[in-house]
Structure 1
Amino acid sequence: MTAFTLLLLSFLAITFLQSGYDKIVDWNGNVNWLKEHFSNTFLKNKVPAALLTVLALEIAAGVLGVMGIVENLINQSTVLANYCCVVSSVTLLLLLFGQRLAKDYDGARTIVIYLIPALLGVYYL
C-alpha cells in the first residue's frame, strides 16, 4: 500500500464515519436544521428521507475505507479502496447538489475541498 492510499482511505473513513455518527446521535437536531436549510427548495418535505440516504452513503463510504485499508494490508488489493473513493465522490456530489440547491455557496465550496481528494483517489486507484 502506498502512503497516499493509506492516508486517503484514513481521511475518507474518518470523515464519513464521524459524519454518520453525528447524524445518528443527533438525528432530530440534524433534521430540524436541514428543514430550515432547505425550506425554500423542493426538498423541504423530504429532509428525513434525504438525510437517511446521505447517512447510508456516508456509513458505506467510511466502512469501505476501513475495509480497503485492511484488504490492502492483507493482500495488496485496491478494489475496496476504489469503491470507497467512488462512493465517497457520489456522496459528496449529492451534498454539493444540496448546498447549491439551498444557495449555500460557502457550504458548497467546503464540499469541494473534500471532493478533490476523493476524486484523486478514483483517478489514482
Structure 2
Amino acid sequence: MDLHFYKNATEIVLLIFLVITFLQSGIDKVKDWKGNLSWLTGHFSKSPFKNSVPLLLGIITVVEIAAGILSIAGIIHLLLHDNKVFALYGALTSCLALLMLFLGQRINKDYVGAQTIVIYLVPTVFLLFLLQ
C-alpha cells in the first residue's frame, strides 16, 4: 500500500481536496436546504434561472455529493489497487459541478463569484491531466 501512496501522492492529495470541497458543500446543502434555497432564490431573482432554482439546487447537490463519493472511491482504489478509474470519475464529476456553478455565476453576472470557482477548477483540471 505504501508504494501505491507514494506513486499517486499528488493525485491522492488533489482527491482529498475534492472530497473536502464537494462533500462539505453537498452536505451543507442537504442540512440547510431552506437557507440555501432562500439565498439562491434571491441571488438568481433577476436571472434566467429564477424559476428553476429549486430544481437546479437539487441537481447541483446530487452532483456535488456524487463528486465527493467518487473521489473517496478514487482514493481507495489508488491506494489498494493502483487503479485510476474512480479517481477519473471523481475528477470529471467535480469538473462538471464546477462548470455548472461557473455557468450559474456567469449567467447571473456575478463575475467575482465566477472567478472564485476558477480557483477550484484549476487543480481539478490538473488532476484530470495527471489521471490520463
TM bin, normalised by shorter chain, reads over 0.9
Q: Which amino acid aligns with 1:108?
A: A
2:114 aligned with 1:108? yes
Aligned residues: 125
Superposition map of 1:79-118 within 5 A: 79-118=85-124
Cα RMSD, aligned residues only: 0.7
Q: 1:20 aligns with which of 1, 4, 26?
A: 26
Superposition map of 1:56-75 within 5 A: 56-75=62-81
Q: Which amino acid aligns with 2:112?
A: D
2:39 aligned with 1:33? yes
Which structure has the bigger radius of gyration?
Answer: 2
Three-state SS of the structure 2 residue aligned to 1:16 is helix
In 2, the alpha carbon distance for the partners of 1:86 and 1:80 equals 10
Task: State the shift of 1:121 in Å.
Answer: 1.0
2:50 aligned with 1:44? yes
In 1, the alpha carbon distance for the partners of 2:92 and 2:73 equals 14
In 1, the alpha carbon distance for the partners of 2:40 and 2:107 equals 12
Task: State the shift of 1:72 in Å.
Answer: 1.1
Q: Which amino acid aligns with 2:37?
A: V
Structure 2's unaligned 5+ residue stretches are none
Structure 1's unaligned 5+ residue stretches are none
Q: Which amino acid aligns with 1:63?
A: I
In 1, the alpha carbon distance for the partners of 2:84 and 2:115 equals 29
- Structure 1, residues 92-119: CA drift from partner, whole Å, max 9, x if none? 0000000011111111000000000111
- Which residue does 1:11 correspond to in 2? 17
Q: TM-score, normalised by structure 1?
A: 0.97
Task: State the shift of 1:36 in Å.
Answer: 0.8
Q: Which amino acid aligns with 1:74?
A: L
Q: 2:60 aligns with which of 35, 54, 57?
A: 54
